[in-house]
Amino acid sequence: MITKTLIAVVGPTAIGKTKLAITLAQHFNTHIISADSRQFFKEMAIGTAVPDTNELAAAPHHFIQHKSILESYSVGDYEKEALYKLEQLFKENDIVILVGGSGLYVNAVTKGLDSFPKIDASVRADLNTLFKEKGIIALQTKLQALDPEYYTKVDKDNPHRLIRALEVCIGSGKPYSTFLNQEKPKRSFNTITVGIKADREIIYERINKRVDIMVQNGLLDEAKALTKHQNLNALQTVGYKELFQFFNHNWTLDFAISEIKKNTRRFAKRQLTWFNKNKETLWVNFNDNPKNIISKIEDKLQA
């Protein structure tokens, strides 16, 4: 019988995942593993809303600012490291908390990744050049031709997803969709997924406020220091890529900040679409009493 449980706290950006994760970690006297793919990077603290000093001190955290943007770090690398860390933590704890808005990284830990063939790096380089020279429509058109099935499901506004699918199609000679949903090894722990929700207007209001606070806290200086690395994959991130347009004299500062807010709202919408796919998620409201949330989780633990 499996006696270890991972509680995964998910939801859109700026909804309060960090706060709830800390509350749960303190209640269950345990550790937190981050599944936020941009909080891994030590150079990107303000723009990724890394937990502050007090939050980090409130509960033991792992996978926060442990990598440099100059290092290669894939979701597969994260899966291996996170599972190893969980194995260690479960020796001392019956419950561990996972928190993050990066759905693919949450799934990597809770369900496992689909297995893909190794693709020559030149394929991705060619696709990046295509994107740079002809834009996202060229990627969409190519994917529609090579894998019409996946084309109907993919986030068509996300160049990373398009390029990833295309490199597999081109490098393997098979549609990307044929590698999806393969049987994966069972995890040695149970998972309870807790999703935080709010009305869309509230989410958008919280996002706009968070962006303003990031700007006040020095986001411009942080992004400016990273302009020489602006082509790195880690920096193709909302909050940085818009400011690079400002530093490159393409946009005004006011327009760049308005685009950060708009693109963050779009990102939150995509996050909700992803997390809504999991029908077993226990959804709670962003302003629910933490005691009520804990009570619901403990009911699930005893079920």
Binding region? 11-18
Q: How many residues does the chain have?
A: 303
Task: Pick out the residues of the known binding site for ATP.
Answer: 11-18
* Residues in binding site for substrate: 13-18
Compute the distance between CA of residue 61 and CA of residue 50 in angstroms, rounded to an integer.
11
Cα 229 to Cα 225: distance, rounded to the nearest angstrom: 9
Q: Which two tokens stand for residue 293?
A: 């949330």
**Residues 49, 44: Cα–Cα separation, whole Å:** 9
Can you spell out the DSSP letters for 49-104?
A: T---HHHHHHS-EESSS-B-TTS---HHHHHHHHHHHHHHHTTT-SEEEEE-S-HH
Q: With contact defined as beta carbons under 8 Å apart, do 51 and 64 qualify? A: yes
**From CA 153, how far away is CA 133, in angstroms rounded?**
25
Q: Tokens 């394929």 label which residue?
A: 123
